[in-house]
Each structure stands twice: as structure tokens, then as C-alpha cells.
Amino acid sequence: AIKYAIAPRVEGGRVEIEAHVRDGRLIIRLSDDGPGCELLQRPAGSGHGVGLANTRERLRVLYGEEAQSVRIESPSGGGCRIVLELPYRTRSRP
């Protein structure tokens, strides 16, 4: 979001991070008001979106193929939204 949405704009921009738990899943949303998500949706190996591909691979290793989800959304008002869904686990404290 910083690299693609804010850095190229002289006037800056907005990045929002929100998280909540629903149905045993931790849902994290990263949104920006930049030009959109087209750059992130290019195929792997195109030289762009390496950070997102790296994130997907790390989450797959940690949680398995079916246990995690990474989605790219294009809100109707513009910008880009990345949604991460992971199993929500808590630890009991001693």
C-alpha cells in the first residue's frame, strides 16, 4: 500500500488497517486510496507483486493451503483492499 498507493503521489494518501475475529477466523483488511489493484493482480514472475506472493507462500507454509486465504479486492470507490483470513488461535497464560 505504501509503495503503490502513497509513494508516487505528491499529496500522499491513506492506508487503513483493520482486524477482527469472525467464526474462528482472524480477518485482516489493508485498504488504500491509491490508483487500484491492477498491478498486484499480474501473474507471478512478472516482476511485480513479489511482497504479496511472498506473504501468500509464508501463510501457506504456516497454516496450510486450505486454512488461510489472501484476496485482492477493488472497492467501487477506487483504491485497493487486501484481505487476509487466518485461523484464530489463543494461548492460555500460565
Give residue-wise pLDDT tens across range 62-89.
888 877 888 888 888 888 899 999 999 8
Q: Which CATH number fits domain 2-87: 3.30.559.30, 3.40.50.620, 3.90.110.10, 3.30.565.10?
A: 3.30.565.10
Task: Say if CB 80 and CB 74 are below 8 A apart.
Answer: yes
Give residue-wise pLDDT tens across range 18-71.
999 999 999 999 998 887 776 555 555 555 557 778 888 998 898 888 778 888
Task: Say if CB 24 and CB 17 are below 8 A apart.
Answer: no
* Dist CA 27 CA 78 (whole Å): 21
Model pTM greater than 0.75?
Answer: no
Give the HSE-up count for residue 2: Cα atoms under 13 Å, Cβ half-sphere: 2
Where do the domains of the chain lie? 2-87
